[in-house]
Amino acid sequence: MVMLCAWYGSIDFQRNSFWKDDFAFFSRMIEDAPQKSSGYLNLSTAYYHIGDFNNAEKYLTDACFKAADNRVQLTRLTEALWEINRYNKAMAVMQMKIDLEPNNPHPYLQMSRIYGELGDKAKEKAYHDKAIELFPGTEEVVRQKATEIFREGEKLMAERRIMLARARFQDALNIDLNFVPALVGMGVLSNQKGDPARALRFLSRAVAINPLNASAHYNLAQSYRMQGRVVEAENELREAEALAKQKGNVAPQ
């Protein structure tokens, strides 16, 4: 089963592989079993793959709030909404998770990262401090778990098991929204799939978080090149080469 951002990697559909009958079929699934999330999730995916983010968001939201099997989806919904820049809704959903699990440090840490991206340093610090107060080792545990899952994804990618690799990269991002290696990994896979627009969302985020990451710049250059944005591609490639040279490495591939 697949979902926006957090679930789209679980099945390796091509961008235009959905037919009109699929939309009708998934709509019928919702009519027949409105308490189940599967119809909403699949319809959300179908809309995502044709670039209709408004309907993708609508049906993913329905999966989390209309379906009965929804509570576990809140963190993933936050990541999905964040990816398509629905920041206010992402924070509203994460606040629901906090309300449901006030002693769980993870949603506070995720909320901190959203505010950090928005430039609200005061709220970024407040939520971060709350997470640390609840569990002093939160940040390190999150980073270690994201790293572990990402490495599983890297291994799968090396084995050309792309569908599973993408799913593991998504799982790493569900744990740590700012985990740069997974953002780069998702960008690389999106480029390989011929979807530079989606790759840009991951890679731009990676560069914003860590502007010294040569691989992020290199793959961002590939995204721009695929879109015909030659000047931006050349700028990113120069930056990647300069960073790689500073570290005494060859330019990333």
- Mean pLDDT to the nearest integer, 85-107: 87
**Distant-in-sequence, close-in-space partners of 64: CB < 8 Å, separation ≥ 6:** 37, 70, 73, 74, 77, 93
- Mean pLDDT to the nearest integer, 66-81: 70
Is residue 60 exposed (0-12), middle (13-18) or buried (19+ Cβ within 10 Å)?
Answer: buried
9 domain residue, yes or no: yes
Taking residue 72's Cβ as centre, other Cβ atoms within 10 Å add up to 9
27 domain residue, yes or no: yes
Per-residue model confidence (pLDDT) at position 253: 47
Name the domain boundary from 19, 44, 73: 73
**Distant-in-sequence, close-in-space partners of 227: CB < 8 Å, separation ≥ 6:** 196, 197, 200
With DSSP H G I counted as helix, E B as strand and the rest as coil, what are the percentages for the chain, rounded to 5? Answer: 75, 0, 25
Per-residue model confidence (pLDDT) at position 19: 47
Q: Report which of residues 18 and 135 the model is more confident about.
A: 135
Domain that holds residue 36: 1-73
Tokens representing residue 167 in the block: 């799913």
Whether residues 150 and 57 share a domain: the answer is no
Q: Is the pLDDT of residue 217 over 90?
A: yes
- The number of distinct structural domains making up the chain is 2
CATH number reported for the structural domain that contains residue 59 in this entry: 1.25.40
pTM: 0.63
Q: Is the pLDDT of residue 156 over 90?
A: yes
104 domain residue, yes or no: no
Name the domain boundary from 24, 42, 73: 73
Whether residues 61 and 145 share a domain: the answer is no
Tokens representing residue 43 in the block: 């319809």
Lowest mean pLDDT among 97-106, 178-187, 239-248: 239-248
Spatial CA neighbour of 92 closest among 109, 111, 106: 111
Q: Is the pLDDT of residue 60 over 60?
A: yes
pLDDT band at 223 (very low <50, low <70, confident <90, very high): very high
CATH number reported for the structural domain that contains residue 215 in this entry: 1.25.40.10
